[in-house]
């Protein structure tokens, strides 16, 4: 067999059509005369193209696999040769210029950019939701030209260079024949039309910047750092294009009493040791209003009193988190003589003059516990 087309393209004999096409395009980029004008390279390019024409055609490939070279008789000049209908001009075009399909004019209307706005909320607003009136500095459609970009009484005119196609074609001659390429029209920028008289209000952009009010509804249960997307509330695009989206970044203000952990609220109450021993009640201003909290006799420091359902509403769900009251028992550090005598008398009555104390292992940190786990393996 005079020619081994598989070896020319560098593929196996069982290569798929896609593998053959990829191999040809890779070699065509390397050997094309516009890239490498060396005469030997041009000859190699002809061989690669001939091999691809045979192997990309199922009938010619089958003939070649059976031992017959489709080019043996006509030397490549007859039907199916370089001048025939089977020559892969479209694949050469794809290899160098991409698809040869005409794209047509570009639209002046493009989607607007997204906008982000930081919104500060009180804890109660984040917990129960609220409706806010916001002022947004953004781009809106020009009221003078209604987004068209042309001055009143005028309209965009068809480009005389590309006749409205948005692209111009250029024909180049090579040893393969005429090669046609297309590129965006330099006169109209690919739009297919030109604005001879731009709108004096927006200078042809089709939009102007202004401050507009936006009414937004904040759902219950949002928290610090969360983003809320409002579709179509962002900037209007150039040429009167559709608006982008508005993203609200939630910033939760610190609360003077409560710390938030998820949907639960935490606070600390300090009570004297006598109140802890005898019991008392305190008034707490919760998110739902003032509430009397009973401190039972014998309450210890560090004890947690849980008020179920007094926390933040669950986002997109029913129910609420809890409010957890952490008790701290305050020990007096300054006593007058009468107070000291009373405490000593109480100590005698309870038999606590020399308390033995109760010892237990100290609470270890999480890193110490993790270290023990790793040492066991």
Q: Is residue 164 part of a domain?
A: no
- Does one domain contain both 17 and 82? yes
Q: Given this model, what pLDDT does residue 79 score?
A: 37
Helix (H) / strand (E) containing 31: helix 17-31
Closest CA to 224 of 311, 118, 138: 118
User: Helices 17-31 & 89-97, crossing angle to 10 degrees?
Assistant: 70
**Domain shared by 280 and 229, yes or no:** no
Q: Is residue 46 part of a domain?
A: yes
Q: What is the CATH number of the domain that holds 139?
A: 2.60.260.20
Domain for residue 159, yes or no?
no
Q: What is the bridge-based pairing of β-strands 264-272 and 323-330?
A: parallel
Q: Can you give the pLDDT at residue 330?
A: 93
211, 215, 216, 267 from 121: Cα distances, Å: 22, 15, 13, 19
> Is 202 annotated as belonging to a binding site?
yes
Query: Does 162 show up as a binding residue in the annotation?
Result: yes
Closest CA to 245 of 355, 138, 87: 138
Per-residue confidence (pLDDT) for residue 36, from 0 to 100: 66
The number of folded domains in the chain is 3
Q: Is residue 369 part of a domain?
A: no
Q: How far apart are CA 253 and CA 224, in angstroms?
A: 9
- 165: its two tokens: 């196609």
pLDDT recorded at residue 77: 38
Residue 88 lies in a domain: yes
Phi, psi angles (nearest 5°) of residue 64 = -65, -40
DSSP for 200-269 reads: TTTTTSSEEEEEEEEEEEEPTT--TT-EEEETT-SPPBGGGBPP--EEEEEEEPPPSS-EEETTEEEEEE
How buried is residue 334: exposed, middle or buried, by Cβ count under 10 Å (0-12/13-18/19+)? exposed
One domain for residues 219 and 267: no
188 is annotated as contributing to ligand binding: yes
| Residues 140 and 267 grouped into a single domain | no
d(CA 279, CA 293): 11
- Taking a C-beta distance cutoff of 8 angstroms, is the pair 237, 243 a contact? yes
Confidence at residue 14, expressed as pLDDT on a 0 to 100 scale: 87
User: In the chain, which stretches have pLDDT less than 50?
Assistant: 1, 73-102, 366
Pair 249, 121 in one domain: yes
Hey, what are 108's tokens? 């002046």
Q: What pLDDT was estimated at residue 111? A: 92
145 is in an annotated binding site: yes
Q: Are 18 and 54 in contact (CB under 8 A)?
A: no
pLDDT in tens, 315-361: 988 899 999 999 999 988 888 999 889 988 888 888 877 666 666 67
* Residue range 72-109, pLDDT digits in tens: 644 443 333 443 434 444 444 444 444 444 467 888 88
Q: Is 185 annotated as a binding residue?
A: yes
If asked whether residues 112 and 132 sit together in one domain, one would say: yes
> Across-strand partners of 328?
270
Query: What's the CA gap between 319 and 78, in Å, rounded?
Result: 83
Whether 13 and 49 share a structural domain:
yes
Assess contact for 236 and 141: CB atoms under 8 A: yes
Q: Is residue 196 part of a domain?
A: no
How far apart, in whole angstroms, are the C-alpha atoms of residue 193 and residue 157? 5
Do 38 and 90 belong together in one domain?
Answer: yes
137 and 219 belong to one structural domain: yes
Domain identity same for 112 and 244: yes
220 plus 331 within the same structural domain: no
Q: Which domain holds residue 55?
A: 5-97
pLDDT number for residue 278: 93
Phi-psi region of 225 (alpha: psi -120 to 50; beta: other; left: phi over 0): left
Task: Look up the pTM and report it.
Answer: 0.59
- Stated as kind and residue range, the H or E segment containing 162 is none
Residue 127 lies in a domain: yes
Six-digit token string for 201: 């209000």
The CATH number of residue 86's host domain is: 1.10.287.110
pLDDT number for residue 86? 43
Residues 89 and 109 grouped into a single domain: no
Residue 284 within any structural domain of the chain: yes
Pick from 76, 97, 118: which residue ends a domain?
Answer: 97
DSSP 133: E
């Amino acid at each position: 067999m005079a020619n081994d087309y598989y070896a020319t393209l560098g593929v196996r004999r069982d290569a798929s059509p896609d593998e053959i096409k990829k191999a040809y395009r890779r070699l065509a980029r390397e050997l094309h005369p516009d890239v490498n004008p060396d005469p030997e390279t041009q000859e190699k390019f002809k061989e690669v193209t001939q091999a691809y024409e045979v192997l990309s055609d199922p009938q010619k490939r089958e003939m070649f696999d059976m031992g017959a070279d489709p080019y043996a008789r006509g030397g490549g000049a007859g039907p199916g040769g370089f001048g025939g209908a089977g020559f892969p001009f479209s694949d050469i075009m794809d290899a160098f210029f991409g698809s040869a399909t005409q794209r047509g004019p570009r639209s002046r209307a493009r989607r607007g950019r997204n906008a982000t706005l930081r919104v500060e909320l009180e804890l109660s607003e984040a917990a129960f939701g609220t409706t806010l009136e916001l002022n947004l500095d953004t781009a809106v459609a020009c009221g003078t030209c209604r987004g068209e970009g042309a001055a009143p009484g005028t309209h965009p005119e068809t480009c005389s260079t590309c006749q409205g196609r948005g692209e111009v074609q250029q024909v180049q001659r090579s040893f393969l024949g005429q090669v046609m390429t297309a590129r965006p029209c330099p006169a109209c920028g690919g739009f297919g039309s030109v604005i001879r008289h731009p709108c004096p209000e927006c200078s042809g952009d089709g939009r102007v910047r202004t401050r507009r009010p936006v009414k937004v509804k904040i759902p219950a249960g949002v928290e610090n750092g969360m983003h809320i997307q409002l579709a179509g509330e962002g900037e209007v695009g150039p040429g009167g294009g559709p608006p982008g989206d508005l993203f609200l970044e939630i910033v939760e203000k610190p609360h003077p009493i409560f710390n938030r952990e998820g949907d639960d609220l935490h606070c600390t109450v300090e009570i004297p040791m006598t109140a802890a021993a005898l019991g008392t009640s305190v008034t707490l201003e919760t998110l739902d209003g003032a509430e009397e909290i009973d401190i039972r006799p014998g309450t210890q420091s560090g004890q947690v009193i849980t008020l179920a359902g007094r926390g933040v509403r669950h986002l997109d769900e029913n129910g609420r988190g809890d409010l957890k009251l952490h008790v701290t028992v305050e020990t007096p550090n300054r006593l007058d003589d009468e107070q000291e005598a009373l405490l000593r008398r109480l100590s005698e009555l309870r038999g606590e003059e020399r308390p033995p104390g109760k010892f237990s292992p100290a609470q270890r940190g999480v890193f110490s516990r993790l270290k023990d786990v790793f040492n066991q393996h």
